[in-house]
Amino acid sequence: MNARGIVRDGLWDNNVVFAQMLALCPAMAVTTSGTNGLGMGLATTAVLLVSNILVALIRDFVSPQVRIPVFVVLIATLVTLVDLVLNAWLHDLYKVLGLFIALIVVNCAILGRAEAFASKSPVLGAALDGIAMGLGFTFALTVIGLIRELLGSGTLFAQASLLLGPQFAFLETTVIPNYGGVLMMVLPPGGFLVLGVLLAGKRVLDARVAARKSRLAKTDFSTETA
Amino acid sequence: MSATLAAFRDRLAYQGVSLGIVALLATTALVVGNQMTREAIVQAEAADLANLLAQVLPDGTADNDLLTDIVKVGAGETAVTVHRARKAGVPTAAVFRMAERGYAADIVVLMGVAADGRLLGVRIVKHAETPGLGDKIEIAKAKWVLDFDGKSLGEPPAEKWAVKKDGGVFDQFAGATITPRAVVKAVKRGLEFFSAHREEILS
């Protein structure tokens, strides 16, 4: 697959959440705000990138029969090392991301990409796929988080400066001041509602695009034959 | 991929051995990682604790090392570790943790109490309350916990040690009553614990 296709696949056509519907457990658990979604997405992207590269490097030496345990051990080791390193040397960041990092271990999307893509691709393609899939995941989580945050507590990117540093404080906006909040949107059912609506929206959009494409194709065809 | 490698990969022994090698490498990486980071993690956590202790004690309350001046009060699993603040050897305050069941899980409260039983500061150390609702108990998100500063067992009187909904003096949050109720309960229990073991703590 070419680079363009890989990127398009990761961000939209084969998006982890919106198309593959993988990793819904972390997606529902942390998307109570845009900031949390962004943090989880970025942490996952980093792990996905490294795990894809490692899997692509060793793919020739791993026999197909034992590939799953090998990948599982690899990913678990990687996440644990990231957890230790962040805790030791980037302790402030760890206090913000600590919760997400433990959740990455159970993110089936990482094993999914190792199995479906990285184990069959050269290193560069696998790295690109890791970044594209990770950014697609980040995009999905941030969008779900922002919608839930807006409906649930009337803010956008609250506490972004805790995650990204004080220079990003400008992202924090209160859209609806003195908003009572809709509790359900912050709780897990709200996550499923938002995801459902977004999935339906993506379907409609994709169907429209496909319809327009086929219409255009038909016109092209008729002009050619005429 | 060379043909010999492909032939090798299908052998049972190769599969077992390769799995073993991967496990060995992973374990080695974890051991090395753990060794390299252990010291730094212990230091970072000690710095965290010192930072927290400083938050519940006003400047100038202590001139000793609170991390080492500790006393365990009570026995078994319910024992409470109390950090003692001293100035020129005289105990001025005590800092300890109290836990109370919140909405989702235990809320752990760190509280500094002056020798006369007045609250110097309260901070939430650990909780799993609903983000955007119950998490206003964190100092990073709201100033609510500062309401406790200066309060003691007699001030407000015991029956007023509750959230406003229950006839007390402490605010609750819109949409979240259980969380502040649990925190108030934990702080009150902490003060009762302090007055019951005052001699032991300040000895």
Q: What is the pLDDT of residues A101-155, one digit of tens each?
A: 878 877 888 999 999 999 999 999 999 999 999 999 999 999 999 999 899 888 8
Write b or e for each residue in A173-195: b if 16 or more Cβ atoms lie within 10 A of its Cβ, otherwise e.
eeeeeeeebbbebbbeebbeebb
Q: How confident is the model at residue A223 (pLDDT cuts 50, 70, 90)?
A: low
Tens digit of pLDDT for each residue in B166-188?
888 998 887 788 999 999 999 99
- pLDDT score, position A108: 86
Mean pLDDT of B75-89: 84
- Helix (H) / strand (E) element for A90: namely none
pLDDT band at A226 (very low <50, low <70, confident <90, very high): very low
Greater confidence (B93 vs A30) lies with B93
Q: In which band, very low, low, confident or very high, does the pLDDT at A1 lie, cut at 50, 70 and 90?
A: low
What does the alpha-carbon distance between residue A174 and residue A150 come to, in Å, rounded to a whole number?
A: 9
From the CB of residue B176, how many other CB atoms can be counted at a distance below 10 Å?
21
B14 contact residues in A (CB cutoff 8 A): 63
Nearest to A186 among B14, B47, B130 (CB): B130
CA distance B43 to A213: 61
Domains of chain B, residue spans: 1-55, 70-202
Domain hosting A150: range is 3-225
pLDDT: which is higher, B23 or B155: B23
Whether B13 has its CB under 8 Å from any CB of chain A: the answer is no
Asked if residues B134 and B141 have their Cβ atoms less than 8 Å apart, the reply is no
Amino acid letter for position B69: D
% helix, strand, coil for chain A, step of 5: 80, 0, 20
Structure tokens at B72: 């365990």
| pLDDT for residue A125 | 93
Considering its fold, how many domains does chain A have in total? 1
pTM > 0.95: no
Contact A69, B19 (CB under 8 A): yes
Name the pLDDT band for A220 (thresholds 50, 70, 90): low
DSSP structure class, residue B129: P
ipTM: 0.74
123-162 in B: which are within 8 Å (CB) of A?
130-133, 140-141
The pLDDT of residue A163 is above 60: yes
User: What is the pLDDT, as a whole number, of residue A134?
Assistant: 95
Residues of B in contact with A77 (CB under 8 A): 26, 29-30
Q: How far apart (Å, rounded) are the C-alpha atoms in residues A223 and B65?
A: 86
What is the amino acid identity at position A211? A
Facing residue for B33 by CB, picked from A36, A60, A84:
A84
**pLDDT digits over B186-203, tens only?**
999 999 999 998 888 887
pLDDT at residue B144 greater than cutoff 60? yes
Sign for the pseudo-dihedral over CA of A5, A10, A11, A15: positive
C-alpha B9/C-alpha A146 separation (Å) is 48
B79 closest CA partner among B203, B200, B202: B200
Cβ contacts below 8 Å, chain A against chain B, sum to 83
Q: Report which DSSP code applies to B19.
A: H
Give me chain B's average pLDDT, please. Answer: 87
